[in-house]
């Protein structure tokens, strides 16, 4: 039997899990309540124009400087071997960087954004408790280059994260337009609550699209077109994927992940390797 969606795509809200408000930098209590409702139903929300232009400008400037010099630690496309990636580091495009790792330690501009009180307030609302930034996962700038940027299959981030509870929130900042031409992120609304059937994942825990149980999920696919400064918040259990970059410009996105104060990485796992940062919470208004 096909795995049904716990929440049919689009059923949670008529706003397509997207909120645009005049107070984007500081949502009101009513707006936070609505964001929380939609997030738990659909597994994600998008706040349009949430990051101020000057923040995006500075993050992009530092990113491009460090990307041009391949300042370590970095992850190369050839290391993962996803579809569309160079066959090896020695092949054409083998020096293409996929991620600038450990962004929090790279520059103050990343630390300020990752711990921004406005970000912390939204994440705390979604988690239902004070958040901590994990330094082991995401904590990076994701890049998708023309020609050599790879395709990422359908997956949940929890496939390689080890926490007492799987409820984590990823905050994804678009530093430029993201659409079908440059490898837009695609999601399956409601898939964070779906129980999978045996054999529905491959050995690397990517969704097997041909599996009968995957068909209901794939009918709900939604591409999330983003503009510069838009911020996507999504549940770590949400199925998502991304295509290749068919444009002529590099796509850049900053990504950080958070867990609640009542949660913790499992000792001895990679999730516990780099520690975490408690986020300062804004004073109650």
pLDDT at 25: 62
Q: How many domains, the chain?
A: 1
Residue 236 falls within a domain, yes or no? yes
Identify the CA nearest to 278 among candidates 78, 141, 129.
129
Residue 6 falls within a domain, yes or no? no
Which domain range does residue 42 map to? 18-189+221-277
Q: How far apart are CA 31 and CA 156, in angstroms?
A: 27
Residue 36 falls within a domain, yes or no? yes
pLDDT at 5: 23
Estimate to the nearest angstrom the gap between the alpha carbon of 268 and the chain centroid. 24
If phi over 0 gives left and psi between -120 and 50 gives alpha, with beta otherwise, what is residue 43?
left
Q: Evaluate if pTM is beyond 0.95.
A: no
pLDDT at 82: 87
CA atoms within 13 A on the CB side of 84: 17
Residue 199 falls within a domain, yes or no? no
Asked whether 4 and 190 are in contact (CB, 8 A), the reply is no
pLDDT tens column, 17-72: 544 333 346 789 999 999 999 999 999 999 999 999 999 999 999 999 999 999 99
- Which segments in the chain show pLDDT lower than 50? 1-16, 18-24
Largest CA distance in the chain: 56
Question: What single DSSP character describes residue 193?
Answer: G
CATH of the domain at 143: 2.60.120.620
pLDDT at 9: 33
Residue that the structure tokens 């092949």 belong to? 91
Residue 194 falls within a domain, yes or no? no
> At 189, is the secondary structure helix, strand, or coil?
coil
Ranges of beta strands (E only) in the chain are 18-19, 44-47, 74-76, 97-100, 131-134, 140-144, 152-155, 168-174, 185-187, 222-223, 231-235, 240-242, 251-260, 276-278
Residue 11 falls within a domain, yes or no? no
pLDDT at 283: 65
Residue 125 falls within a domain, yes or no? yes
pLDDT at 15: 38
Residue 26 falls within a domain, yes or no? yes
Q: How far apart are CA 78 and CA 64, in angstroms?
A: 20
């Amino acid at each position: 039997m096909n795995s049904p969606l716990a929440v049919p795509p689009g059923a949670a809200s008529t706003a397509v899990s997207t909120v645009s408000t005049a107070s984007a930098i500081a949502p009101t209590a009513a707006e936070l309540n609505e964001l929380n409702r939609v997030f738990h139903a659909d597994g994600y929300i998008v706040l349009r124009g949430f990051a101020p232009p000057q923040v995006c400008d500075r993050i992009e400037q530092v990113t491009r400087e460090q990307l041009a010099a391949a300042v370590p630690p970095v992850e190369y496309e050839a290391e993962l071997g996803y579809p569309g990636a160079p066959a090896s580091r020695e092949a054409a495009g083998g020096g293409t960087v996929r991620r600038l790792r450990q962004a929090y330690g790279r520059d103050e501009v990343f630390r300020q954004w990752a711990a921004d009180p406005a970000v912390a307030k939204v994440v705390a609302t979604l988690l239902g408790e004070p958040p901590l930034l994990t330094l082991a996962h995401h904590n990076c700038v994701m890049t998708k280059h023309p020609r050599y940027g790879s395709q990422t299959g359908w997956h949940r981030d929890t496939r390689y994260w080890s926490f007492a509870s799987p409820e984590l929130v990823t905050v994804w900042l678009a530093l430029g337009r993201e659409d079908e031409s440059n490898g837009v992120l695609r999601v399956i609304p409601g898939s964070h609550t779906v129980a999978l059937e045996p054999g529905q994942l491959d050995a690397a825990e990517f969704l097997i699209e041909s599996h009968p149980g995957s068909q209901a999920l794939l009918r709900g696919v939604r591409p999330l077109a983003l503009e510069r400064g838009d911020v996507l918040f999504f549940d770590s259990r949400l199925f998502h994927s991304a295509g290749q970059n068919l444009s002529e410009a590099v796509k850049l996105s900053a990504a950080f992940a958070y867990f609640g104060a009542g949660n913790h990485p499992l000792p001895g796992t990679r999730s516990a390797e780099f520690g975490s940062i408690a986020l300062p919470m804004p004073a109650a208004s």
